[in-house]
Amino acid sequence: MEAGRVLTERLLNEYIPSDSEDPRSLHTAMRYSVLAGGKRLRPILAQAAFEYCGGDMSRAEETVHRAMAAIEMVHTYSLIHDDLPCMDDDDLRRGMPTCHKKFGEATATLAGDALHVVAFELMARTGSIDVVLELARAVGTSGMLGGQMADIEAEGRAVTPGEIQEIHTRKTGALIRGSVRIGAILAGADPETLERLTAYGEKIGLAFQIIDDILDIEGDQTLLGKAVGSDSRHQKATYPAAKGLEASRREAAQLIDGALATFVEEEDNMLKWLARYIGQRER
């Protein structure tokens, strides 16, 4: 995973315009947020799916590497906008001031928008219309943005277990599932493999957000790099609130087991490793 993280950082550094290039303030804010660290889980999933499906490594630089940077940029843009005062109003992200705290709201709004554009540009530069459409589906109103909207609307009221599953599946699950699919599509995966990996992506995506909810209750603030307890302060709809902590833990574990079952009797691979990582993560 460390190699994937280092590769992602190199790609991001390469693909975001330099902060000495005009408009400097915008590029500076973009670089600040994108290069602030993070697990780089989504691009690593895309890379792992690409490799699992036998993608052509000699062309990785023009295909999956661009997609990896695009995915992480779109993820970062969503965090920047999510942290804005009119949304979650968060001051801290990955142990550092959030983008609007550091550069002001106008610059943060535009930096998010700009990362969104660069992401689609990079995805198009893979030469595959299919992955551009896949990214749009993952982050559009039936995916991430729909989930963010439902998440805000659910604040302060009790939600049913069905609703919270739907919110999490869209808000976080869609981009994780999309990352896996994008890597597989760029590798030219056959339909059966793509379908199996889609189911894998759905399971780890939902598990990821359930565990996020759990860590917000009992995680270590220093490891997480953000304040714990923010969900309850914001009266967010969470799995533990809707189903209880124990049932949430059990469901996350079942999802990870289900994801691992995708590869039953196959030798160890990165996608299996990543599913286990998500199940055990502490940050």
Which residues of this protein are in contact with its own copies, per CB under 8 A?
A: 17, 22-23, 25-27, 30, 81, 84, 86-87, 104-107, 109-110, 112-114, 116-118, 120-121, 124-125, 127, 129, 132-133, 136-137, 139-141, 145-146, 148-150, 152-153
Q: CA 81 to CA 78: how far, in whole Å? A: 5
Q: Name the DSSP letter for residue 196.
A: H
Which residue number, 25 or 193, has a Cβ lying nearer to its own copies? Answer: 25
Nearest distance, CB of residue 88 and its own copies, angstroms: 9
Which residue number, 125 or 276, has a Cβ lying nearer to its own copies? Answer: 125
Nearest distance, CB of residue 74 and its own copies, angstroms: 9
Q: What is the three-class DSSP state of 97?
A: strand
Which residue number, 231 or 262, has a Cβ lying nearer to its own copies? Answer: 231
Nearest distance, CB of residue 21 and its own copies, angstroms: 8
Nearest distance, CB of residue 42 and its own copies, angstroms: 17
Tell me if 175 sits within 8 A of 183, measured CB to CB.
no
| H helix and E strand count, the chain | 16, 2
Which residue number, 7 or 118, has a Cβ lying nearer to its own copies? Answer: 118
Q: CA 225 to CA 155: how far, in whole Å? A: 23
Phi, psi (deg, nearest 5) at residue 111: -65, -40
Which residue number, 148 or 209, has a Cβ lying nearer to its own copies? Answer: 148
Which residue number, 76 or 262, has a Cβ lying nearer to its own copies? Answer: 76
Nearest distance, CB of residue 139 and its own copies, angstroms: 6
Which residue number, 7 or 123, has a Cβ lying nearer to its own copies? Answer: 123
Structure tokens at 188: 């030219």
How many CB atoms lie under 10 A from the CB of residue 22? 8
Nearest distance, CB of residue 103 and its own copies, angstroms: 11
Nearest distance, CB of residue 191 and its own copies, angstroms: 21
Cβ density class 185-217: b for 16+ within 10 Å, e for less: bbbebeeebbeebbebbbbbbbbbbbbbbbbbe
Q: Beta strands 92-93 and 96-97: pairing type?
A: antiparallel
Cβ density class 82-121: b for 16+ within 10 Å, e for less: bbbeeebebebbeebebbbbbbeeebbbbbbebbbebbbe
Which residue number, 100 or 272, has a Cβ lying nearer to its own copies? Answer: 100
Nearest distance, CB of residue 147 and its own copies, angstroms: 8
